Structure 1
Amino acid sequence: MADIFGLRGDRYAFLKLAPPPSYVAGAGRGAQGFTTRSDIGPAREALPEGDEAPKEEEHNPDQFQDPDNETGLFAGTVYEADDEEADRIYEAVDAAIDERRRAKREARERDVADKLLKERPTIQSQFADLKRGLADMSENDWHNLPEVSNLIGNRVKKPRLEGRSYVVPDSVLVGARDMNAVEHTLADDQMKDGLSTPADALTDFAEIGQAREKMLSIKLEQAGGDSARGSTNVDPKGYLTGLDSQMLKTSSEIGDIKRARALLQSLTKTNPKHAPGWVAAAWLENVAGKQVAARKIIAEGCDQCPKNEDVWLCASELNTNENAKVILANAVQELPQSVRIWMRAVELENDVKAKKRVLRKALEYIPASVKLWKETVKLEDNPEDARILLARAVEVIPHSQELWLALARLETPDRARQVLNKARKTIPTSHEIWIAAGRLQEQEGNVGQVDAIIANGVSALKKNGAELSREQWLAEAERAESQGSTVTAQAIVKACIHLDVDEEDRQAVWLDDAETMTTKGHIASARAIYAYALNVYPQKQTLWRKAADLEKQHGDRETLLALLNRAVESVPQAEVLWLMAAKESWLAGDVDAARGILARAFEANPDSEGIWLAAVKLEAENGEIGAARELMQRARDVSGTERIWVKSAVFERTHSSTAAALDMVKAGLKVFPASAKLHMMHAQLLQAQSPPNVAGAREALAVGVRKCPTAVPLWIMASRLEEKAGVRIKARALLEKARNLNPKSEEVWLESVKVEERDGSGAAKPMLSRALQTLPSSGLLHSHSVWSEPRPTRKTRSVDALKKTNNSPTVIVTVARLFWAERKIEKARDWFARAVAADKDFGDAWAWWWKFEKQHGTDEHREALLQKCVAADPHHGQVWPTIAKDPANVGKDLVAILELASQAVEEGTSGAAAAP
């Protein structure tokens, strides 16, 4: 048994034995068996060799046919009435079912057909819209249809080779490289024979070039001699000039020309009646430098399209003047009504008489051409002849307002009036004739009639349905003023300013119109708008101030005073208008008139502090100190406002002693204990004593900050006093308390940063960061942060500052100073101009700009800057108020203040707080 299983001999001999029948591997241990094709054999039984496979039986439709009845099993039955009735019933049922389902079936069929048509549209459906358009084609369009075969024939026969590139063999490149090379080595036979190459065997390119030039000059001389004898027409000098003037074209340009030439040739052949094709083909040849071919093509175009003026004009431009005249002579025979051809013929003539002759011939054919009449009149030197021509022109063309207006300009005033009246009747819809009539009256000096003429014109145009809009009339007013007719412009404004404006929007719209006119430089029109508005709203103080500002900038002092006198009569309660009138009279040198105006102002406004202070200033400036002191006393008794008490203290400090001013301040503090300015003056006067009363000033400021906790200048002044005394800790404490009470004050935060910078403790940057976090849009803080940055990063920091502060004037000045430091003069000047444009009342910007112009500007720059600064009259800033309100600078003009401020801005805001 062991031998059977191979236990004695071969250990795995059982593997060589055949498996038992129905043996499945793994079935004994529970494995799932499977069967493959190799286990069960092929699907079909194998045929014995030599036998043929059975053939598939073919379908025979007659295999079930009755052998005794060749036509059908029921062919011999009788078709009875029941069968007929059954068939009829079945047909009726089928018809009913078909009728009931027809709508759905037809809809489904249409959807399938539409879907199929969209996916695979037929050629007929694609060109259906074009075929429908054929019904509207004219006879000429049918004749101009191109031939399809000619458009594709050349492309099929001659394949396009442009744009193809081929690889160049290296042998060609090497040969081109060595073509002009000079050999400096000996040949093999020379090496063997020991011969050396002679020096003259090398190629001398300089001698070759000289010889070439000499031969060329000889040939040119010969050609020149022959030309003298008449055998040739070569010009040796012009030949070289012609060579220099030749334009070499690149390969891409040549290719473009060839392609365009082929396209245009196909176009002119398939559609010879298409004039633009001939013109384009001719100009293409002209650009390519083939003038002869261009003339030939355009000549053929003239033959093919004799009724097109563009072809004839192109032919005249491509030919010489003499040939062009002949061409245009033929053109006018074909197109005698073409104005362009006649005008081209006039351009070709060099003599004025010839031009006139051509124009008069043209007028015989086209008498209704305004352009021809205008050109004819322009050529006349004698005004009388021009007038005769225009008189004939308006007879031929009565509806041309240009000819009527030109005739009116040449006539005398009386006859011009007649001409314009006749023109107005002939052309009742022309507004230009009415405006011309108004300008004529203005030129004659009849200013009073201009308003009536323009008003009648506006109403007449409205009746004839030719009314202009409000904007169009204002545009005509601008044009009239630009031409010097200011009275006519004002009349137009008066006649149209009320059109198309709602009553509640009138004032705002009129103010906008006046500002727009002023911006454009039309001062007369703006003045007329203000005059009309003031007639409608005489009680509006805003209108009077705007009109006064316009007269102050663009008028003279007389007109301004007249306007202000009317203003104070219309609005007697307007304090500003009284003050403006008094100031202008004073500046004009009429002090008595200014006193009279202020006296009238007292009657109308007895409690007005502005008028009282203006009267005091008037007397004080003119040396009447006693009268000024009396007026100030009366002002305190009658009005007694805080401002009057402050000005009284300033007056005593300026024109009296420190003690008198101190007494006045103390008296004022009893009346107004919460006046921040009086507390500041109290501390300043105590420090101005000799010796300075620091303790008293400290106490006065302590009282002031308790009474006025929101007065930032008081806190800054108290902090600087402590810092000056060396008590920096108390200065910090005061600023911290000021920041708590006034967290949005950029001046307090900036002063805190500067205190830390002066101390040098290193806490300046953290303090500046806190300030910027609290006030991220502060111009003062961002400007200071720019200067605290290192030089390389200042410009980047300034850009960020401009964005965060929305172009603050302080930051703009900082940017200008950065450009100034980089010696970029023009850029710095531009940025200084931007700063003052952003805020004209910012005095520090003017001071920095003046400092800049003194160093880098010319006399013209400085003079222009002074004029702008005087017109702006600034009052605010960090340095400017300190200089302007300094008691030492009382009575100085603006130019002197500007000079002092330009010297003080270098220290920035490190000085004392501004005095009241």
Structure 2
Amino acid sequence: MANVPGGMATKNKKHFLGVPAPLGYVAGVGRGATGFTTRSDIGPARDANDVSDDRHAPPSKRKKQKDEDEEDEEDLNDSNYDEFSGYGGSLFSKDPYDKDDEEADAIYEAVDKRMDEKRKDYREKRLREELERYRQERPKIQQQFSDLKRCLVEVSDDDWRNIPEVGDARNKKMRNPRAEKFTPLPDSVLSRNLGGESSSTIDPASGLASAIPGTATGMLTPTGDLDLRKIGQARNSLMNVKLSQVSDSVSGQTVVDPKGYLTDLQSMIPTYGGDINDIKKARLLLKSVRETNPNHPPAWIASARLEEVTGKVQAARNLIMKGCEVNQKSEDLWLEAARLQPPDVARTVIAQAARQIPTSVRVWIKAAELETELKAKKKVFRKALEHIPNSVRLWKAAVELEEPDDARILLSRAVECCPTSVDLWLALARLETYENARKVLNKARENIPTDRQIWTTAAKLEEANGNSHMVEKIIERAVMSLTSNGVEISRDQWFKEAVEAEKSGSVLTCQALIKSVIGHGVDDEDRKHTWMEDADTCANQGAIECARAIYAHALAAFPSKKSIWLRAAYFEKANGDRQTLENLLQRAVAHCPQSEVLWLMGAKSKWLAGDVPAARGILSLAFQANPNSEEIWLAAVKLESENNEYERAKRLLAKARGSAPTPRVMMKSAKLEWALQDTSTAMKLLEEGITKFPDYPKLWMMKGQIEEQLDKLDSAQASYNQGLKKCPNSIVLWTLLAALEEKRGHLTKARSVLEKGRLRNPGNGVLWVEAIRVELRAGMVAIANSMMAKALQECPTAGVLWAEAIFMEPRPSRKTKSVDALKKCEHDPIVLLAVSKLFWSEGKYQKCREWLNRVLKLDSDLGDAWAYYYKLETMQGTDESRADVMKRCIAAEPHHGEYWCKVSKNIENWKMPMDQILVDVAAHVPLPT
């Protein structure tokens, strides 16, 4: 074997040696061995769908060239056996799924698809309803906070920047429970507190030596103790070495003072929080500026203030005093030096300044301020006036310290030294007697011919002393004199002067000023418009007499303008008393006898004052000037009926029907009989009125309401239907008929009536609201919501619809709905009232008040707003606020509103006063929920 060549050995080598085992090979399987696997063979857990790595895949089937019986023979080998599924292979030799089954499955699938399409709409609708109901019961967080997100628009940039950072609220143990902090103790604490006695050494056995950084056993003294003094000396030596290293090797001078470095640093830290390097740079720069230009005062002032900021007050004082020595004529330096010095030293400094700069007004005033006694102050000012006699500021300051007699003497000297100062002349005139004041003002006019204040002061002086006839002459001369001296007459300045004159109590001067300049620079065609604007501006500023003077001048220029008389009358009604109003109205009807409103205002003023005969007299004169006037007839009837003169009222109405038969006269006649419970006469009058005026809807309304009151529901229904044939555009008739049908239990008819009304009157929000409320009262909430959506599409700007929609929403989404309503109807009073009720329901009463005031400012005739306001003040306000609302409501005299009309239009309340109506309506309006 030894002679066998190596090549022969390689050739006879077995083919399986060194070759990896085939897949699925199990050693000894031919001898009855059973294969097994371990976790290391399987590897990590895999998903059922993962691709196998075929590490232990079952052995592949060898193709045998046998007949079909041998191929179909079941493989019962152990390698084909599984513990759970048994032997591999199919249970059946053939696939049972054929073409017939496939065709049947396709047919079934088509049928299922068709049935699914039929139910799809219903299923999706049901799913949407369930989702909507779920969202209403459990709104998203995004919906709950949508109003707060919308309020983020109002947050300013400063508010964003001032939002505090979120700190760590956890305690120390929670923040870092395992952290250990070691803080070295200074030797001063150890030496002061060691054993309660002062000691300069530490016993190594005590363990405190380890608390001192840099200590080791080799540093201990021969006695075994740690010497604290030596440690301190070593630290100072180390500091000296470090300071020596930063010395300037070129100049040989140290940049840093070793002794004062730490002291300066400690004195600087508490007073200044900035960077010390910046301070040093600024100090060097300012030093360079001072050395370059020592005669520049701002450099000295800046240097002193820098030292003051850093806490070196004495250095600042030294610097500023040095600057004063270099710049002895700079008042800024001297004033800064006086500010930095203590009071005693400051007086000395300011005295030096006065000697160096005797003509500086600021220095003398500072000197007076530093004095504590009044006598010393006066002495300083008199000394100052010797040096600067033409300083108005010094004269004013000196006069303020004197008594009236001494002040008059000083002012007489002051006007000689400062003849062009208007304030000094006027001050002297105020202190003088009447005769002397006239002389003073004449001299002032000679010295200052271009100032209007002297003229107006002269006019006020004459008015104060009873010379009323001189006031207008002085103002006229003032305009002429100022114009001749080249002074431009400005209407705004003169109007401002008139307002100031009124505030000071000089009414005649105010009126004269208005009269003199009201037409200045105004074109003839613009006079009326411009003057009315001026009157409104003065009234808004509280200048009542100025506005009254403007109206008087406008009425003198346009005596036949009814609009000006009316505006003046309303102004007197709001700002004047009854006498001034009646005087104005007497002049008004004399110039405009055909103006019914002016006659009626005069009669009402007399009636409210309790003078009924005078009111009758005014109305009789009005009849003469305006025969057959409906307004005057009805005013006379109301006057008699309110004063229980029913027979006189009936006779007046009979005359009116005979001479001026208008539908309103017929309606008022029937209403009076109805109020007096004579329904038969009222029905006769209504029949007569309907015959003459069939297209007047209020006659049909009253006829149906009387029949409803008499429980003749069929007749009422017929009356409403006939009225709607004649007046299909009357919204109230449609709502009355629908309410009657609902009252009779005919819900379907009520819906039909409202639908017909909407067809005849498209785009009307009131009919939509009535229809929605009918569904809500019937419990059909889903139908009501659907109708509301349609209504808002048809009437997107109807305020009554948006107001109703806000409170139909769930509480979390009402704010969002209110925002949408305000976008669509920003200036609708009903929407604003709904928003105020929303604030009330949330408990925001002050917000509710603000919005109610906005509603009343926009429409003071809305009675519901007054009722809600009064109810709010009754529940959440005070007696004063409630009385204020009552007073404002009586002055406004509202007539409209859903709840207001139910009370005020009730025939049983036809004589109820306004305050009682307000209380009654406030009791009936529902609380916002």
The two structures share one fold, judged by TM-score above 0.5: yes
1:328 partner amino acid:
I
Tell me whether 1:797 sits opposite 2:817 in the alignment.
yes
Paired residue for 1:280, among 302, 305, 308?
302
CA contact (8 A) 1:454 1:491 kept: yes
CA offset digits 1:779-832 (Å, max 9, x no partner): 111111110110011112112211210142222222222221222222222222
Paired residue for 1:541, among 513, 538, 562?
562
CA contact (8 A) 2:268 2:311 kept: no
CA distance in 2 between counterparts of 1:765 and 1:475 reads 59
CA contact (8 A) 1:458 1:467 kept: no
Which of 567-576 and 298-307 deviates more?
298-307
CA distance in 2 between counterparts of 1:665 and 1:261 reads 102
Secondary structure of 2:528 counterpart: helix
The residue aligned with 1:621 is: 642
2:764 partner amino acid:
S
The residue aligned with 2:312 is: 290
The residue aligned with 1:787 is: 807
The residue aligned with 1:462 is: 483
Secondary structure of 1:612 counterpart: helix
Paired residue for 1:736, among 736, 755, 762?
755
Note closer, same or farther for the CA distance 1:628–1:289 as it changes in structure 2 (3 Å cut). same
Paired residue for 2:184, among 176, 179, 182?
179
1:376-775 matched pairs, under 5 angstroms:
376-381=398-403, 383-689=404-710, 692-761=711-780, 762-775=782-795
Aligned-pair CA distance for 1:200:
13
The residue aligned with 2:879 is: 859
Note closer, same or farther for the CA distance 1:309–1:176 as it changes in structure 2 (3 Å cut). farther
1:876 partner amino acid:
H
Query: Any runs of at least 4 consecutive aligned residues in structure 1 with deviations exceeding 4 A, and if so which?
Result: 180-183, 197-203, 253-256
The residue aligned with 1:902 is: 922
Aligned-pair CA distance for 1:760:
2.3
The residue aligned with 1:328 is: 350
The residue aligned with 2:377 is: 355
The residue aligned with 2:155 is: none
Q: State the identity as a percent.
A: 47
CA distance in 2 between counterparts of 1:430 and 1:728 reads 82
The residue aligned with 1:222 is: none
CA distance in 2 between counterparts of 1:907 and 1:749 reads 23
CA contact (8 A) 2:741 2:747 kept: yes
The residue aligned with 1:880 is: 900
CA contact (8 A) 2:304 2:317 kept: yes
CA offset digits 1:704-760 (Å, max 9, x no partner): 111001100001111111111111111111111111111122111111111121222
Secondary structure of 1:294 counterpart: helix
CA contact (8 A) 2:562 2:592 kept: yes
CA offset digits 1:82-103 (Å, max 9, x no partner): xxxxxxxxxxxxxxxxxxxxxx
Note closer, same or farther for the CA distance 1:373–1:758 as it changes in structure 2 (3 Å cut). same
Note closer, same or farther for the CA distance 1:597–1:254 as it changes in structure 2 (3 Å cut). farther
CA distance in 1 between counterparts of 2:586 and 2:550 reads 19
2:660 partner amino acid:
S
The residue aligned with 2:327 is: 305
Paired residue for 2:910, among 886, 890, 904?
890
CA offset digits 1:400-430 (Å, max 9, x no partner): 1111100100011121112112211221101
The residue aligned with 2:68 is: none
The residue aligned with 1:319 is: 341
CA distance in 2 between counterparts of 1:511 and 1:373 reads 45
CA distance in 1 between counterparts of 2:647 and 2:463 reads 55
Note closer, same or farther for the CA distance 1:258–1:633 as it changes in structure 2 (3 Å cut). farther
CA distance in 2 between counterparts of 1:768 and 1:413 reads 78
Secondary structure of 1:559 counterpart: helix
The residue aligned with 1:75 is: none
Q: Unpaired segments of 5 or more residues in structure 2?
A: 1-178, 191-204, 212-266
2:270 partner amino acid:
L
CA contact (8 A) 2:272 2:310 kept: no
CA offset digits 1:301-352 (Å, max 9, x no partner): 2122222211111111111222222222221222222111111111111111
CA distance in 2 between counterparts of 1:471 and 1:337 reads 39
1:112-191 matched pairs, under 5 angstroms:
177-180=182-185
TM-score (norm 2): 0.71
1:468 partner amino acid:
I
2:855 partner amino acid:
A
Aligned-pair CA distance for 1:563:
0.7
CA distance in 1 between counterparts of 2:549 and 2:277 reads 66
CA offset digits 1:66-117 (Å, max 9, x no partner): xxxxxxxxxxxxxxxxxxxxxxxxxxxxxxxxxxxxxxxxxxxxxxxxxxxx
CA offset digits 1:860-913 (Å, max 9, x no partner): 2111211221222211222212221211111121111111111222299xxxxx
The residue aligned with 1:153 is: none
Aligned-pair CA distance for 1:198:
9.9
Secondary structure of 1:489 counterpart: helix
CA contact (8 A) 2:271 2:311 kept: no
Aligned-pair CA distance for 1:656:
4.3
Note closer, same or farther for the CA distance 1:342–1:664 as it changes in structure 2 (3 Å cut). same
Aligned-pair CA distance for 1:279:
1.4
CA distance in 1 between counterparts of 2:209 and 2:422 reads 88
CA distance in 2 between counterparts of 1:876 and 1:306 reads 82
Aligned-pair CA distance for 1:850:
0.9
2:691 partner amino acid:
K
CA distance in 1 between counterparts of 2:273 and 2:539 reads 59
Q: Unpaired segments of 5 or more residues in structure 1?
A: 1-173, 184-196, 204-244, 909-916
CA distance in 2 between counterparts of 1:175 and 1:650 reads 96
CA distance in 2 between counterparts of 1:767 and 1:353 reads 88
Aligned-pair CA distance for 1:176:
8.0
CA distance in 2 between counterparts of 1:595 and 1:253 reads 90
CA distance in 2 between counterparts of 1:406 and 1:526 reads 30
CA distance in 1 between counterparts of 2:210 and 2:887 reads 80
CA contact (8 A) 1:480 1:489 kept: yes
Secondary structure of 2:926 counterpart: helix
Note closer, same or farther for the CA distance 1:865–1:320 as it changes in structure 2 (3 Å cut). same
Aligned-pair CA distance for 1:484:
2.5
TM-score (norm 1): 0.72
CA distance in 2 between counterparts of 1:359 and 1:391 reads 16
CA distance in 1 between counterparts of 2:824 and 2:732 reads 26
Aligned-pair CA distance for 1:284:
2.1
CA distance in 2 between counterparts of 1:260 and 1:633 reads 101
RMSD between aligned residues: 2.4
Aligned-pair CA distance for 1:288:
2.0
Paired residue for 1:375, among 385, 397, 409?
397
CA distance in 1 between counterparts of 2:184 and 2:396 reads 69
Secondary structure of 1:279 counterpart: helix
1:859 partner amino acid:
D
Aligned-pair CA distance for 1:439:
0.9
